[in-house]
Amino acid sequence: MNIDWDDIEEAREVLGLDERATLSEIKKAFRRMARKNHPDLNRDASGHQRMRQLNHAYQILLDYCSSFRFPLQKGPDAEIIDDEKWWFDRFGSDPLWGKSGDK
């Protein structure tokens, strides 16, 4: 997968996401923005263009997330987190889901 960080950063900004957004947060942000900007609901002349921009940003982030690579940032501090570490970063304090493989 060839990653264009400029596209990912732009997509993140379009959807108003943090660097460590989850897939669920990406989907929620897209739905929120789509409801607000959809041409059928918002009669603004720029609605079609804005929806194209939102769809493009959403697709870029979905393609990136399909490889489970987080966070959405580049540079020397960008750590590629394996899926188990990513899960425990978010749900580690949950009594049901936060238990590691050690039993």
Chain segment 5-28, per-residue pLDDT in tens: 889 899 999 999 988 888 889 999
Number of other CB atoms surrounding residue 15 within 10 Å: 23
- Do residues 50 and 37 touch, judged by C-beta distance below 8 A? yes
8 Å CB contact between 39 and 94:
no
CA distance 46 to 6: 24
What would the pLDDT profile of 29-68 be if each residue is shown by its tens digit? 999 998 888 877 777 777 788 889 999 999 999 888 876 5
Question: Are 71 and 81 within 8 A, CB to CB?
Answer: yes
Helix (H) or strand (E) holding 57: helix 47-65
Q: Which domains does the chain have, with CATH numbers?
A: 5-91 (1.10.287.110)
